[in-house]
Homo-oligomer: A and B are copies of this chain.
Amino acid sequence: MRGSYKEEMDRLVGKLLQSYQEYPEICSISTRHRLNNDIIVDLLEKIRSIVFPGFFETKTLNDHFIEYHVGELLEDIQYRLTKQVTKALFHSEHAPASEEEALETAEVIVSKFLKRLPALRAVLATDVQAAYDGDPAAFNTDEVIFSYPGVFAITVNRIAHELHQLGVPLIPRIMTEHAHSLTGIDIHPGATIGSYFFIDHGTGVVIGETTRIGSGAKIYQGVTLGALSTRGGQSLRGAKRHPTLEDNVTVYSGASILGGETVIGEGAVIGSNAFITSSVPGGTRVSIKNPELQFKDRIRMTELGQEGFWKGND
């Protein structure tokens, strides 16, 4: 019995190894330059610790020793991020010729990235303020930094966007999908987003790769800034497929704004559930006309049967 169990296992192992050869594209054995998701998420958290010092530490930071703390964190980020970026570069369309070349490029990229952190803080300070100003339920800016998913998502997006701009493959998307998993907010690292940006609640928000958003935007749960069609698949790579929002645009819950040529003008307000596929002039409020509602008496409905009434559910 034990013998036959061992044999069964051996056969199964054999079949899996065979399957690994048959479908090599979903197999990463003996692959050099393999990225490590866990390390990338850990680096993201460390970068956030630099950006919002003291909020996410297990110990209280002391003003006198903060220099050591920041220095040590930076050193660690620099070292490990360089390693991950080196690996990632081999996944680019123009892979480096050698390990040395990759490492040198990675060092330059990481150095540039780290130098941008102070500027990133300046922008994130406006985002935190926007969240506090924009939500009557917000208690103070600490609460906003501690617990608002929209603030977490834009923090991750701004970090990932810098790396994306510096030509790092894969890592930015792993970072934004981590934020997507925790918040339900899916912002592609390629999207360009101005200062004082606030997403409230956020679950279901999708902001596509080539979206451009000015400063002062306010966006609610379930909003899609998307493409009109992706039928072209990979042939559309890089084309401007997602909309442009000028400064101070508000988009209420469930609205969709689609298409690369769609421009929402300055200060425009897009009402809940609106479906927009062409440009809207600045200073305009757009809303869908009140869809006619049907009111029925429940008791009579039960007598008449339920036909014609939508329940919309699982």
Contact = CB atoms under 8 A, between A and B. Distances in A.
Contact of A204 (B50, B71, B221): B221
A244 interface: no
Interface in A130-175: 132-143, 145-149, 169-170, 173-174
A97 interface: no
B142 A16 contact: no
Interface in A222-277: 222, 224-239, 241-242, 252-254, 256, 258, 267-269, 271-277
A9 B180 CA distance: 32
Contacts of A269: 298, 311
Given A36-B58, A239-B136, A226 B292 contact: no
A221 B221 contact: no
A134 to B, nearest CB: 6
B12 A74 contact: yes
Contacts of A66: 17, 20, 29
A312 to B, nearest CB: 2
A210 to B, nearest CB: 9
A18 B118 contact: yes
26 contacts: A16-B50, A19-B117, A20-B53, A26-B124, A27-B53, A28-B61, A29-B62, A35-B146, A37-B146, A133-B233, A134-B230, A136-B230, A143-B173, A146-B174, A147-B177, A208-B314, A224-B253, A254-B256, A256-B312, A267-B298, A275-B290, A277-B310, A284-B295, A286-B293, A287-B310, A288-B292
Contacts of A303: none
A91 B142 contact: yes
A94 interface: no
Contacts of A140: 91
B52 A27 contact: yes
Contact of A111 (B8, B136, B286): B8
A60 B31 contact: yes
Highest count of chain B CB atoms <10 Å: which of A141, A173, A289, A293? A293
A115 interface: yes
Given A13-B67, A28-B53, A271-B311, 17 more contacts: A9-B74, A12-B114, A16-B50, A17-B66, A22-B122, A29-B62, A91-B143, A134-B230, A136-B227, A139-B173, A184-B204, A204-B204, A227-B311, A231-B311, A252-B311, A272-B275, A287-B294
Contact of A169 (B75, B139, B173, B190): B139
A173 B238 CA distance: 39
A242 B201 CA distance: 15
A16 B313 contact: no
B220 A74 contact: no
A226 B91 contact: no
B272 A273 contact: no
A268 to B, nearest CB: 8
A81 interface: no
